[in-house]
Amino acid sequence: MNALLSLSRGIDAMNERIGRVIYWLVLAAVLISAANAIVRKVFNTSSNSFLEIQWYLFSAIFLFCAGYTLLKNQHVRIDVIAGRLSPQAQAWIDIFGTVLFLMPMAILIMYLSWPVFVLAFQRNEVSTNAGGLVIWPARLLVPIGFGFLILQGLSEFIKRVAFLRGLIPDPSQRKGEKSAEEELAEEILRARGEQA
């Protein structure tokens, strides 16, 4: 189990680094969008490549940060029932969800998206829009992004099993990090205190 936990830590570190690098693509997308809007309004000209690069950046942000989001336990959950269960029961739900839903879905999408990328690359497929970009880099984002998600799903599976065996603390509880809800509650209490 120690070797698997080491693998899990390595996957976590990789997705942590990827997530922190991809943050900067948000800024790049905003700057390109602003520059495109300014050029369009001031010089009455534009290029489809500016729009398409924004789409590429958004795709990279979404796909490459899927594993990072899972690592940070910030993915969409419906905790109406699970939130009331013990940490062990929640770990079992995560294990079954990973094995029955996450991994099959991610593996299937990665498998099916690879030939789409290869075909676009072989044909040197270009956007049908005037001034559009080459398409294969965008197609490559899909299998890579789902690959990162599969690796993080494996890491989360390892951590849940280790938790159930009593080898590590509950991995769903992040130490020192406040949830968005906790931060909002503190801000509301602080605002009420200032008004009083």
* Residue 134 tokens, joined: 């080459």
Q: Which residues contact 60 (CB under 8 A, 6 or more apart)?
A: 22, 25, 141, 145
Average pLDDT, the chain: 88
- pLDDT at residue 161 is higher than 90: yes
**What are the pLDDT digits (tens) for 46-60?**
778 888 898 899 999
Residue 134 dihedral angles phi and psi, to the nearest 5° = -65, 140
Helix (H, G, I), strand (E, B) or coil at 122: helix
Tell me, yes or no, whether 181 lies in a domain.
Answer: no
Specify the pTM.
0.80
The residue segments making up the domain with residue 67 are 2-173
Cβ distance 154 to 12 under 8 Å? Answer: no
Q: Report how many domains make up the chain.
A: 1
* Residue 116 tokens, joined: 């789409």
Tell me, yes or no, whether 136 lies in a domain.
Answer: yes
Tell me, yes or no, whether 189 lies in a domain.
Answer: no
**What are the pLDDT digits (tens) for 171-191?**
887 655 666 666 777 888 888
Tell me, yes or no, whether 191 lies in a domain.
Answer: no
**What are the pLDDT digits (tens) for 138-150?**
999 999 999 999 9
Tell me, yes or no, whether 194 lies in a domain.
Answer: no
**HEC readout, 21-74:** HHHHHHHHHHHHHHHHHHHHHHHCCCCHHHHHHHHHHHHHHHHHCHHHHHHCCC
Tell me, yes or no, whether 179 lies in a domain.
Answer: no
**What are the pLDDT digits (tens) for 7-58?**
999 999 999 999 999 989 999 999 998 988 898 888 888 778 888 898 899 9
* Residue 101 tokens, joined: 């839903």
| Residue predicted with more confidence, 40 or 61 | 61
